[in-house]
Structure 1
Amino acid sequence: MPHHIAWFDRHDPALEPVLGGKNTSLGIMTMAGLPVPPGFAVTATAYVKALHDTGVAGALAAMVGGLDVTDGVALARVATEARDTITGTPLPPWLADEVDEAYATISERRGQADLPVAVRSSATCEDQPDASFAGEHDTYLWVRGADALRDHVRRCWASLYTERAICYRRQMGYGEDGAAMSVGIQQMVLPKASGVAFTLNPLNGDRSQIAIDASWGLGEAVVSGSVTPDNFLVDKVMGDITSRVISDKTVEHVLDEDDRVVEREVDEERRTAASLTDDEVRAVAALARRAEKHYGRPQDVEWAIDGAAPADEAVVLLQSRPETVWSRKARVASPDSANTFQSIVHNLLHPSGSQTVHLH
């Protein structure tokens, strides 16, 4: 029997081809004991079977097969029709039942009816070695209730058919029959602050440093670029914070009174205040380093500070993916050992850390 639901805490490496990169990473990190919010994936096998059973697959093939992607008007029309076809077709009963059952199970496990979840796209085409699909597919936050969850699973599927996604697959030579979508459903964390961390300095590739971007509220403000985040550099060997740049953080993504994620202005007193304490900066850096150690290569990590959790459990890992910019460049700089030695010497000579604090 094909697998349609895959739990992160029972990750099966044999299912990775039908989980996509994001869900595979969540399963691997959960099994490694990293602090990942619990959840499950609807596999790409379910996507393929559901679209076939409902006749949507044939309709999509007819729409996209002969499309000239250089014709902007036709591309926009076909992309809209394709997405509307997917979102307007209910899940087949066999899949609706499985999704409902899994959602009821995680809600019961967490002791909360209609558990708020994040619903994240995880396309299998993201795993191609030359693929660069970051930001191409949709994520939805604070989804509650079985009906809403089924709806947002279809919306994630439909994000395979944006104009950008269609063009990208065509340009990269990926056939439409090879495009499939797994969807991750993960307990929602309502963070006081969140952001991204790189286990090397993204400005120069220095692997002796961890770079952290942070801002108030949900991390989408950082990822989307709607806010200039605070930036911290942490020495990977000694753990010292060697640089702080505290920005004027004008907006944050938060929940409103109707449980909707909205963008709002940051209170005046928090705009120019550091979004992380020193202890939180070090905790984020330590978590990013654990992810790098597990994967054995530099990582780009999404994290959050769970405002409802105890301080020693507050930092959670939302995603970890291989860093690609510097990892793909020829290693012509000093070896890691030299960088590490220089870092140690610097910290011995400057035990308080060479900290630059300025405001954007």
Structure 2
Amino acid sequence: MTKQSPPVIWFEDLSRADVARVGGKNASLGEMVRALAPKGIRVPGGFATTADAFRDYLAANGLGAPIADHLAALASGKQTLAETGQAVRSLILHGDWPAATQEAIIAAYRRLCAESGRADIDVAVRSSATAEDLPEASFAGQQETFLNIRGEAALVEACRRCYASLFTDRAISYRQAKGFDHMQVALSVGVQRMVRSDIGGAGVMFSIDTETGFDKVVRIDAAWGLGETVVQGSVGPDEYQVFKPLLADPALSPIIDKTCGDKAHKLIYGGGETPTRLVPASKAERAAFVLDDVEILTLARWAVAIETHYGCPMDIEWARDGETGELFVVQARPETVQARRRADAFRTFRITRKGRKLSSGLAIGDAVVSGWICLIESARDIARFVDGSILVTGTTDPDWVPVMKRAAAIVTDRGGRTSHAAIISRELGLPAIVGTGNATELLHDGQEVTVSCAEGDEGFVYEGTADVEAETLDIGALPQTATQVMLNLANPAAAFRWWRLPADGVGLARMEFVISNAIRVHPMALVRYDELRDETARREIAALTAGYGDRTDYFVDRLSRGLARLAASFHPKPVIIRTSDFKTNEYAGLVGGAGFEPHEENPMIGLRGASRYYSPHYREGFALECRAIRRLRNEMGFRNVIVMIPFCRSPAEADAVLAVMAENGLRRGEDGLEVYVMCEIPSNVILAREFAARFDGFSIGSNDLTQLTLGVDRDSAELAPLFDEEDAAVKWMIARVIGEARAAGAKIGLCGQAPSDNPAFAAFLVEAGIHSLSVSPDSFVAVKQAVAAAERRHGHNEEAR
């Protein structure tokens, strides 16, 4: 070891330019300690052994030639991977430390102890390879980490075990797959003060949405105890999402999603020969969130600062000290999957026919795959995996990587979005469903299934082979149009899938979808819970609202966060949220709803839309909707949200609804609030100017307008041939209201299906002078092209709009 290359370097003396000296992980730690700690991001201190120290260790023990011989035997097929790995690791583990290296490690550890004021402090001992955390390869979990290491002898032995882990079977296999020369890769060991997250919490966060590449959110996973359970996927962690563009305003709380994970176990300190042990989490811990809102926002701001400093999306590990309550960042590396995706290449999958749903969990990726299941419950049975099949197992760790590379898809019982299975699946480009809870119980070996990750955040395993349509879109080739083309969205879980589309915003976000899927409870059953006589409903509501002091807060919280994902998807472009448009029979189907809804013979034209909002049947429920929108706009910061009122029969009814909104803190024009009205009743057309005096815009609901103009039940199979949105009477109504709206200075769009099905209808709307069309995402490209063609034919330009 030369004087110019000491065996140990302190983190504060390193930077990200030092990957060749101390590997990617330790170089990044040094960069953060040096550059980001002064900005308030806490990083535990420590030191790193150098790559030269590793090479000196091999040279001092004469290991270079025998290791090369074993690797050559593997390459020629004379040795198996397992035989090679075992032999090389044994050589390293039986080596002796060069005196200078061992003395330097012990001296640095003593300095750490002195600085902390404690003898034999606990440290984390982490491997950091010189070909690690690169943009083209993550090497996630390929080498070992040892936690709660105390004492000089234990530290030196842990460092030796880190050296040996450069040649685990999984690490050898991964380097082969990535084309790295084994003998050119060296290993540095990072020794870092432990954060007492064993009595606190820990997890992982990404400065990008890991499934869609949406670059405006921070995703945080959290569990009790040491963070290895999250990384390894052995628990279902809490999940939080924070909207980055609104983080700079300290008055806002842009937390757009909070999901409580099961967190069934936690990793805590052990003792003696077992420095850590896995124990069950308490019932109270499982039911509680690991992080409060202040901590979530703090971590999210740190993620943004780290991303800004590095200039790329980041994968970050964090921990909270249970003794001090302080948060720390313990690792950071470039995100390696979404960073490599082409921004203009957009591939979509759509299932047109599918079998019975067998299992579900968190969707990783966005593809659909059909195949035969190979169910393997233990790593001991990996050898029987059948190439090209769908791997189903409890959880994975780095030992499973050689098998995962040969799979068509992966399904696990346990794990979150930052688990090992999720990270490797993304890197390999495989669809995966993690955290199903029961896939190994419900699925069986040799079963033919379809794994779908193309339907939003939730992934599904369907029986049999589904019919799937796949399409690759070149977004960069889409034409510009003066007429806005927006999206119809309902499912918050799928909203981020479409962020790359050059849409002009969201023309219709359906509130009722969020209520029926994310809330499931009738709002009046929350307002008047004490009046409920249905004991089954009472129990279900009590379980759903557990943890909320006021049950109505459950509705407001879940609704505002669900809508926030829709509002975030195209921020700062407008997002038009339609207030609930259930019919009475649909409302009655919500938990606790039957006792609050009248029976109607024809709910389609009954107590729905605007008439509900000032009715004693629902006025208090509508107040909760207003609270959620007020929170969405004022507390979370989504001022791009426009409110739209459905099925408003008369100007007098419009006045009544606007008055109720104002009573609940949503006053048109205040804080930039715009209010639109659906145009779906002939009276909306006939009295368009009067409606325009009360609302900022119209959205034509062509389905209902067709139904009521022609007097045809849109759901009647017998009358289906008569239901025609292109009927001359319907087109007259549409053209008339477009003209009236424009004359009154109001915006007007259409959110029906017709433009998606027929380019000629889109051309008619453009010629009539419509401001915007809002269509389903899978129709966006075709409609955009049809609108562009119509504008060229009719000579429309931006000034004309």
Q: Helix, strand or coil: the match of 1:350?
A: helix
| 1:207-244 residue CA offsets vs partner (Å, 9 max, x unmatched) | 22111111111110100000010101111122311111
Q: Name the CA distance, whole Å, in 2 between partners of 1:64 and 1:142.
A: 33
- Counterpart of 2:332? 320
Q: Once the two structures are superposed, what CA deviation does each residue of 1:269-316 show, in whole Å capped at 9, x if it has no partner?
A: 11121111111111111111111121122111110111222x5xx110
Q: Which deviates more, 165-174 or 76-85?
A: 165-174
| Contact 1:199–1:288 (CA under 8 A) maintained in structure 2 | yes
Q: How far 1:119 sits from its partner (Å)?
A: 0.5
CA contact (8 A) 1:208 1:343 kept: no
Residue 7 of structure 2 aligns with an amino acid whose one-letter code is H
Q: Among 263, 266, 280, which residue is 1:252 paired with?
A: 266
Q: Deviations over 1:244-286 (max 9, x none)?
A: 1112210011113657211110011111211111111111111
| Paired letter, 1:206 | F
Structure 1 residues 16 and 326: alpha-carbon distance in aligned structure 2, compared to 1, 3 A threshold: closer
- C-alpha separation between the residues in 2 aligned to 1:153 and 1:81? 19
Kindly state the Cα deviation for residue 124 of structure 1 after the two structures are TM-superposed: 0.6
1:276 and 1:115 map into 2 onto residues whose CA distance is 27
In 1, the alpha carbon distance for the partners of 2:230 and 2:77 equals: 32
Query: Could you list the per-position Cα deviations for residues 48-77 of structure 1 after superposition, in whole angstroms to 9, with x for gaps in the alignment?
Result: 011101112222122222324767x63212
Match of 1:102 in 2: 108
Structure 1 Cα separation of the partners of residues 332 and 163 of structure 2: 22
Which whole-Å CA distance do the structure 2 matches of 1:261 and 1:200 have between them?
A: 31
Matches of 1:343 and 1:238 in 2, distance apart? Answer: 10
Q: CA deviation at 1:39?
A: 0.3
Which residue among 26, 42, 47 is the counterpart of 2:29? 26
Distance 1:173 1:186 in 2: 31
Equivalent residue letter for 1:9: E
CA distance in 2, matches of 1:278, 1:267: 22
| Distance in structure 1 (CA, Å) of the matches to 2:196 and 2:227 | 10
Q: Relative to structure 1, is the Cα distance of residues 67 and 39 closer, same or farther in structure 2, using a 3 angstrom cutoff?
A: same
Residues in 1 aligned to 2:179 and 2:246: alpha-carbon distance in whole angstroms: 46
**Per-residue displacement from partner, 1:139-194 (whole Å, max 9, x unpaired)?**
00011111111111111111111112222223333223202101100001111111
Q: Is the 8 A contact 2:134 2:336 kept in 1?
A: no
Q: Once the two structures are superposed, what CA deviation does each residue of 1:74-129 show, in whole Å capped at 9, x if it has no partner?
A: 32122112111111212121211111111111111111111111000000122555
Report which structure shows greater RCO (CA 8 Å, sep ≥6).
Answer: 1
Provide the identity percentage.
37
In the other structure, the counterpart of 2:633 is: 350
Instruction: Determine if contact 1:69/1:75 at 8 Å carries over to the other structure.
Output: no
> Partner letter of residue 144 of structure 2?
D
> Which residue of the partner structure matches residue 42 of structure 1?
49
Is the aligned partner of 1:179 residue 2:181?
Answer: no
Q: Distance in 1 between matches of 2:16 and 2:246?
A: 35
Partner of 2:763: none
Q: What residue in structure 2 maps to residue 86 of structure 1?
A: 92
Which residue number in structure 2 is paired with residue 164 of structure 1?
A: 170
> Which of 286, 301, 308 is 2:323 aligned to?
308
Aligned to 2:537: none
**Equivalent-residue separation in structure 2 for 1:155 and 1:83 (angstroms):** 9
Partner letter of residue 3 of structure 1? P
Matched, 1:268 2:283: yes
Could you tell me which amino acid in structure 2 is paired with residue 24 of structure 1? A
Task: Give the letter for the 1:35 counterpart.
Answer: R
Change (3 A) 1:257 1:154: closer
| Partner of residue 19 from structure 2, selected from 16, 34, 42 | 16
Q: CA RMSD in A?
A: 2.5
Greater CA radius of gyration, 1 or 2? 2
Amino acid of the residue matched to residue 193 of structure 1? G
Instruction: Indicate whether 1:118 and 2:124 are aligned.
Output: yes
Residue 323 of structure 1, CA deviation: 1.4
**Where does residue 197 of structure 1 map in the other structure?**
205
SS at match of 1:125: coil
| Bigger shift: residues 296-305 or 127-136 | 127-136
Q: Which moved more, 1:284-293 or 1:122-131?
A: 122-131
Rounded to whole Å, the distance in 1 between the matches of 2:195 and 2:179 is 38
The answer as to whether partners of 2:262 and 2:287 remain within 8 angstroms in 1 is yes
Which of these residues, 145, 151, 164, is aligned with residue 139 of structure 1?
145
Alpha-carbon spacing, 1:175–1:256, altered in 2? closer, same or farther (3 Å):
closer
Contact 2:130–2:185 under 8 Å retained in 1: yes
User: Hey, what does 1:5 align to over in structure 2?
Assistant: 8
Instruction: Give unpaired runs (5+ residues) of structure 1.
Output: 355-360
Q: How many residues align?
A: 350
Task: Give the counterpart letter for 2:244 in structure 1.
Answer: K
Looking at structure 1, the residues matched to 18 and 214 of structure 2 have their Cα atoms a distance apart, in angstroms, of 35
2:126, 2:190 within 8 Å by CA — same for their partners in 1? yes
> Using a 3 Å threshold, how does the CA distance of structure 1 residues 188 and 110 change in structure 2: closer, same or farther?
same
CA contact (8 A) 2:46 2:112 kept: yes
Q: 1:62 to 1:94 in 2, by over 3 A?
A: same
Q: In the superposition, relative to structure 1, how do residues 101 and 180 fare at CA in structure 2: closer, same or farther (>3 Å)?
A: same
